Amino acid sequence: MTSLATRLSGPADTTIFERMSGLAREFGAINLGQGFPELPEPPELIAAAQAALAEHSNQYPPMRGLPRLRGAVADYYARTQGLELTADNVVITSGGTEALAASLFALVAPGDEVVLVQPLYDAYLPLVQWAGGVAKVISLTPPEWTLPIDALAAAIGPKTRGIVLNTPNNPVGTMLTRVELEAVGALAEAHDLWVLCDEVWEAMVFDGTPHISPLAIPSLAARAIKVGSAGKIFSMTGWKVGWAVAAPELAAKIAGRHQFLTFTTPPALQWAAAEGLALPDAWFDAQRALYGGLKARLVLGLEGAGFAVLPGSATWFITIDLAASGLSATDAVLAERLVREAGVASIPVSAFYAQAPETGYLRLCFTKNETVLDEAVARLAKFRAQRD
């Protein structure tokens, strides 16, 4: 009989985000690590949630989500991405991470191989493994972080059942193109694969690059699952309202897993998210302009201080190329030093690798007010100058 301690093996470490936030608190550092805004929160959404708490039932909402929110999600994607959806395509979950979990638990059977693409968000690998799957990991090619279709094709074998994608990409902010997604679609059709796509950053694109979901690619429409997040769209990461969107039969399977993970999601936040998604385009444009301005400010400040910032279209993050910035340490070492010695927390991009990490890139979150960003730049500039 194995001991309890042995049976409790598996990933118990805290995430890199928790760890860096902890270090930021310990050293009183500016926290540009974990991705969350420290900015005024949208008053329309707060008011909608307050009203919903008082006016609507606070008992279990329908398991698959309030019909009003499921319809609002479908309408929002019709308006913003030209997708043809109805409420039958949508399952509301407690955050994007739960949508990923419910989807993988619905799709992966023990022994199935699943292709993951690194840098990868930290939840993908343990979720595939907890579902009994075997991950086959390929890597985007820096510094453009393009998807190597040949490597993807080579990773697909007789046991492969699916691919997990992420566009826009956390951590590096790049986006998959239609051409890349069509190539994925051809492989998925040829090998009868599902494609799970984490699209939680879809509303945070700052350079006009169109966000393309696998659901918009004809060869993928029936085999793709799109994961979205109200927390990201409305800049309130603690709300944990997300969704999975897929063909109705797939959506029903995902709902079957959701019902034994969280079962439902707080109804007041669902009502508020539904109201938020129906806000006029001008609201979303203003939100994007605000965040885009903060991104530009951090990038300009860092470049002025001699840091090389990689181009990226989207997310709340920018990426520093350390070698091109004249810094020779690895990202993991530098992130530790920066939080202790410079007073700025960041995330090493190597933490997003399951194997053979790229070690020369640092992720910084720019969703902070201008004073905080300017102070962070001053601290990083001083640190870099001392090393010249």
Q: Contact residues for ligand GLN (CB under 6 A)?
A: 15, 17, 34-35, 170
Q: Which is nearer to ligand GLN, 102 or 183 (CB)?
A: 102
Provide, rounded to whole angstroms, the least separation between the CB of residue 301 and ligand GLN: 21
Contact 233, 37 (CB under 8 A): no
Q: Which is nearer to ligand GLN, 169 or 264 (CB)?
A: 169
Structure tokens at 24: 């930021």
Q: Which is nearer to ligand GLN, 122 or 375 (CB)?
A: 122
Provide, rounded to whole angstroms, the least separation between the CB of residue 304 and ligand GLN: 25
Max alpha carbon distance in the chain (Å)? 63
Q: Which is nearer to ligand GLN, 15 or 129 (CB)?
A: 15
Provide, rounded to whole angstroms, the least separation between the CB of residue 193 and ligand GLN: 26
Q: Which is nearer to ligand GLN, 34 or 103 (CB)?
A: 34
d(CA 101, CA 12): 17
d(CA 340, CA 103): 39
Provide, rounded to whole angstroms, the least separation between the CB of residue 105 and ligand GLN: 19
Q: Which is nearer to ligand GLN, 198 or 275 (CB)?
A: 198
Provide, rounded to whole angstroms, the least separation between the CB of residue 238 and ligand GLN: 11
d(CA 104, CA 174): 24
Q: Which is nearer to ligand GLN, 219 or 235 (CB)?
A: 235
Provide, rounded to whole angstroms, the least separation between the CB of residue 231 and ligand GLN: 9
Provide, rounded to whole angstroms, the least separation between the CB of residue 15 and ligand GLN: 5
